Amino acid sequence: MKFGIVVLPGSNCDHDALHVTKNVIGADAEVLWHKDTELKGVDCVIIPGGFAYGDYLRAGALAKFAPIMEPIRRHAAAGGLVFGICNGFQVLTEVGLLPGALMRNEHLRFVSRDVFLRTEETDTPFTNQLEAGQVLRVPIAHGEGNYFADDATLDELERNRQVIFRYCDESGRVTRESNPNGSSRNIAGICNRERNVIGMMPHPERCSEPLLGNADGLGIFQSLMASLSLR
């Protein structure tokens, strides 16, 4: 069970992801540099948050040309796990591993605070230790977290149960007021049809140990460990 944490120029959450995977859940983990051309035998790739290549053009647009992206594409195509967090989610849409796009927040302001997420699906490698409907309190920090896709794509995501997390209130109600960025249908995280690639805007690695005052994100990493132990 081995995690690879991708470091792109501008990544700033790589050490958070490395700490959680290596020191909190006790997995083998190492850094993957953006110029690497192989994944060093990792089972799960994590593309962390930050501002890859300064978010020039738009968030994630230049990252898709990084040499590390081609082995990540092959890894995903072979059924390997890929987890994009915040900027990592933006990158995954740019490289075509997830549908849709992340646009400027509806209110055009950067937002950094805790939000509530409702767990929509638990039959994924990323959520199998959570309960359907479970509400998580997870921090966000983004200016381009407004998930957008056309109605046909959104309907397909719903039909295939690819919407994994939605923004909600503390009671689990999906409301416009609980949506921090204008994201379509309150979507906070989605997976691909094969369910081995996920992207989410909130940061579970920032709330995965009691020392931080909130460990709601730990269940996601525990789900990954449980999934990898079965492989």
Residue 229 pLDDT greater than 90, yes or no: no
Q: Which domains does the chain have, with CATH numbers?
A: 2-229 (3.40.50.880)
Separation of alpha carbons 219 and 208, rounded Å = 8
Q: What is the pLDDT of residue 231?
A: 65
Return the DSSP state at 40.
T
Q: What is the pTM of this model?
A: 0.97
Q: What are phi and psi of 113, to 5 degrees?
A: -170, 175
- Lookup: tokens for 125: 């490698």
Separation of alpha carbons 229 and 231, rounded Å = 6
Per-residue pLDDT of 32-66, as tens digits, reads: 999 999 999 999 999 999 999 999 888 999 999 99
Separation of alpha carbons 54 and 203, rounded Å = 19
Catalytic center residues: 86, 203, 205
Q: What is the pLDDT of residue 228?
A: 80
Do residues 163 and 147 make contact, with C-beta atoms less than 8 angstroms apart?
Answer: no
Sheet containing strand 187-191, edge to edge, reads 28-33, 2-7, 44-47, 81-85, 197-200, 187-191, 163-168, 111-119, 135-142
- Lookup: tokens for 188: 């906070």
Strand, helix or coil for residue 202: coil
Q: What is the pLDDT of residue 17?
A: 98
Q: What is the pLDDT of residue 45?
A: 98
